[in-house]
Amino acid sequence: MKAKTSFFCTECGNESVKWQGKCPACGSWNTLVEQQTMKTDKKGGFQPKRNNKAVPLKDLSADHEIRFSTGISELDRVLGGGAVKGSLVLVGGAPGVGKSTLLLQICGSLDGIGSVLYVTGEESCQQLKMRADRLCSNNDSVFVISETNLNAVLDSVDDIKPEFLIIDSIQTIYNEELTSAPGSVGQVKDCTMSLMRLAKEQGITVFVIGHVNKEGAIAGPKVLEHMVDCVLYFEGSVSSGYRILRAAKNRYGSTNEIGVFEMLNDGLQSVENPSEMLLSGRPENIPGTCVACVLEGSRPILAEVQALLCPTSFNAARRNSNGVDYNRAMLLLAVLEKIGGLRIGGCDAYINVIGGLELDEPAADLAVILAVASSYLEKEVDSKLAAIGEVGLTGELRAVSNLNQRLNETARLGFTKCIIPRQGRVRLQIPEGLEVVQVSNISEAMRAVFRS
Ligand code: TYD
Ligand code: MG
């Protein structure tokens, strides 16, 4: 078969037959690169099975999906209750965030499940051994190989017959039948396809690490998201000790669970109680901070929102928001100015959420408003007070989901007062020791908080 070339977009992975300046799929400029896709017609895609008959769905037994625990509670939670046999999971994240560390720790905690093969294309086996010693990941059923050639990896899988395969990282693995460089879109797609086939045909659970890279030359895991069963992103700044694992796609579970880890000297530690971690060391009785309660998946999390307002020294005020969407923060500042009557137009405003958490739920609105107002008015919010509620453009407070669950978590962490939207339908179950104040707009909320 003749060698075929295609053009792939390094942003979205779209394939075109000819080169163009602008990707027709995602609209980015100058991102198409030429790739020789195939030399032989052997690879690529699943081979069609002969005599493959459709079967009634109700006759299938559900035990085809076999879950097992990875031994790391936060990882199990993100995967939807454990890893699924025969699935392919892609773990993406910035360099240094801890992807290799997490997967090496799985090797240590999987004891009893069967053998594990760790393929590293980035380190030598000795380096891996040093790290594994530190992480206590040594046990008899863990095999390692330092290899970048896909066929050698597949041979090694045939040899060891592992239950669990870890590839670190997909960008270093290459198929010698393709002429393009390792890490290019064609290679990454082809190798993932081969691993997918391995997972489905032999029932091996495969975890693949993918680097996220802003530069166009290396294909990020974005192009792979369509192929794999589950995509996990590892987030968190490398300087802060906390890491958040988030599912962006999961064929076997929900995608809105997060896992929280702390990077310690002996590897990543699951954080079972993120609220306690996020609130520890909080300044008390100082203006400019307020606690919000947001839902991450099924889990309520309390986080501290801080705001700093100071008179601007330029014509246009500076606005900065970290952890709260910038546009959402601007909207809340405008509501506070117009409806709340605070003259914050002439102030620089900085908003920050502690612990690197992203509050993308509107239930945090009220806490943002109160933190900003507190800084502007130089009056502190009681440190035992939490605020829950979405703020509308007319300054009204809107109801939020799962309020009782949030109140329980708030009370559990020792808060004594909670400001919530006025309730119509939901029957409140107020936990003992928590005073709940129902308000209908931000002016009422501010009166309730800054009473003195
Ligand atoms: P690593 O897993 O190599 O990152 P990735 O594979 O995502 O690029 O983790 C690298 C960082 O983790 C490194 O900067 C040091 C830190 N680290 C610890 O703090 N403690 C540890 O026990 C380990 C193994 C790493
Ligand atoms: Mg690594």
pLDDT at 216 (0 to 100): 36
Angle, CA 176 vertex, CA 207 and CA 145 arms, to 5°: 45
Give percent of the chain with pLDDT exceeding 70: 91
Average pLDDT, the chain: 86
Which residue, 351, 359, 355, is CA-closest to 273? 355
pLDDT in tens, 400-446: 999 999 999 999 999 999 999 997 777 889 999 999 999 999 999 99
pLDDT in tens, 239-282: 677 888 988 889 988 877 888 898 888 889 998 888 888 888 88
Atom of ligand 1 nearest to the CA of 266: 22
Residue 267 beta carbon below 6 angstroms from any ligand 1 atom:
yes
> Is the distance from the beta carbon of residue 134 to the nearest atom of ligand 1 less than 6 Å?
yes
| Nearest ligand, CA 98 | 1
pTM, to two decimals: 0.77
Cα–ligand 2 centroid distance for 128 (angstroms): 10
Instruction: Give residue 390 CA to ligand 1 midpoint distance, Å.
Output: 38
Give the pLDDT confidence of 162-219 residue by residue, as tens digits.
999 999 989 899 998 888 788 778 888 889 999 999 999 999 999 999 887 654 334 5
In the predicted model, is pLDDT for residue 43 greater than 50? Answer: no
Q: Is the pLDDT of residue 285 over 50?
A: yes
100 ligand 1 Cβ < 6 A:
yes
Mean pLDDT of 129-148: 85
Query: Is the pLDDT reported for residue 32 higher than 90?
Result: no
The reply to whether ligand 1 has any atom less than 6 angstroms from the CB of 13 is: no
Q: What token pair was written down for 100? A: 């290799």
- Confidence (pLDDT) at 49: 58
Q: How far apart are CA 147 and CA 207, in angstroms?
A: 16
Rounded Cα–Cα distance for residues 109 and 356 (Å): 28
- Residue 219: what pLDDT? 53
Q: pLDDT, tens digit, for every residue of 365-390?
A: 999 999 999 999 999 999 999 999 99
Q: How far apart are CA 368 and CA 446, in angstroms?
A: 12
The residue ranges of DSSP E strands in 182-318, in sequence order, are 205-211, 230-235, 242-250, 258-264, 267-270, 289-296, 299-311
Q: Is the CB of 189 under 6 A from ligand 1?
A: no
Q: Is 30 exposed, middle or buried (0-12, 13-18, 19+ CB in 10 A)?
A: exposed
- Pairwise CA distance, residues 209 & 79, whole Å: 15
Quote the pLDDT of residue 47: 56
Give pLDDT, residue 338: 95
pLDDT band at 222 (very low <50, low <70, confident <90, very high): low
Nearest one of 386, 379, 378, 371 to 450, comparing CA atoms: 379
Q: Ligand 2 center to residue 99 CA distance, Å?
A: 6
